[in-house]
Amino acid sequence: MTLDVRTGPDGLDRCAWVGDDTEYGRYHDEEWGRPLHGDRALFEKMCLEGFQAGLSWITILRKRPRFREVFAGFEPAAIAAFGDDDIARLMADAGIIRNRLKIEATISNARLMLDLEPGELDAFLWSFAPASRARPSSFAEVPATTAESDAMSKALKKRGFRFVGSTTMYALMQSAGMVDDHVDGCWRAV
């Protein structure tokens, strides 16, 4: 076993980034790297990855229930109607990441969602998923960006979306299962 895999209390070998955190373990086992579809689900993931920029994912994961509550379940039509009072309310909420630019980007991105046909975001994002890629044998082989995440970021920015840089979009690709970066030896890598 490599340093990139760690045996959990349940005896399962997992990607070492999970550590001993139960919530991280659940996320790793049940969500990360599993194909995610649906406009609302992918919109939520895109927003949360944007909030994560510069922070650790566990911070976002622990705050995700509150994010879902204050951002109307990430329903784009509801968020698109947010105004200045909502921004002030969100900026005062210690249960989320209180970054005005990220909050405003989420609202702006929700408004852009209203111009899309049902299923369009799903199909658009998944169109950037690579056909196949070798599983990494270590985290040293996991890139921060790829040509596909660069292209996804550029295309989203061209449509007016914000907080969708290439590194953030690669993290989205990982979490939404567009790429599978579970390292060799992880029980999810079989």
**Tens digit of pLDDT for each residue in 127-158?**
999 988 888 989 999 999 999 999 999 999 99
- How many separate domains does the chain show? 1
Q: Which of 20-34, 109-123, 149-163 has the lowest mean pLDDT?
A: 20-34
Report the candidate in 148, 154, 156 with the shortest Cα–Cα distance to residue 174: 148
Instruction: Indicate whether 144 belongs to any domain.
Output: yes
Instruction: Indicate whether 12 belongs to any domain.
Output: no
Of 17, 27, 126, 187, which one is the catalytic site residue? 27
Instruction: Indicate whether 94 belongs to any domain.
Output: yes
The predicted-structure confidence for 97-116, as pLDDT tens digits, reads as follows 999 999 999 999 999 999 99
Give the structural domain span for 47.
36-176
186 is in an annotated binding site: yes
28 is in an annotated binding site: yes
Instruction: Indicate whether 152 belongs to any domain.
Output: yes
Cα torsion for 179, 42, 47, 89, to the nearest 10°? -160
Q: How far is CA 72 from CA 83, 89, 131, 168, 170, in A?
A: 14, 13, 34, 23, 25
What pTM does this model have?
0.94
Instruction: Indicate whether 184 belongs to any domain.
Output: no
Instruction: Indicate whether 27 belongs to any domain.
Output: no
Could you confirm whether 24 is annotated as catalytic?
no
Of 24, 32, 44, 49, which one is the catalytic site residue? 49
Say whether pLDDT at 1 is over 60. no
Tell me, what CATH number does 133's domain have?
Answer: 1.10.340.30
In this predicted structure, what is the pLDDT of residue 90?
Answer: 98
Of 57, 75, 104, 187, which one is the catalytic site residue? 57
Say whether pLDDT at 170 is over 70. yes
The average pLDDT across 114-120 equals 97
Could you confirm whether 32 is annotated as catalytic?
no
Could you confirm whether 126 is annotated as catalytic?
no
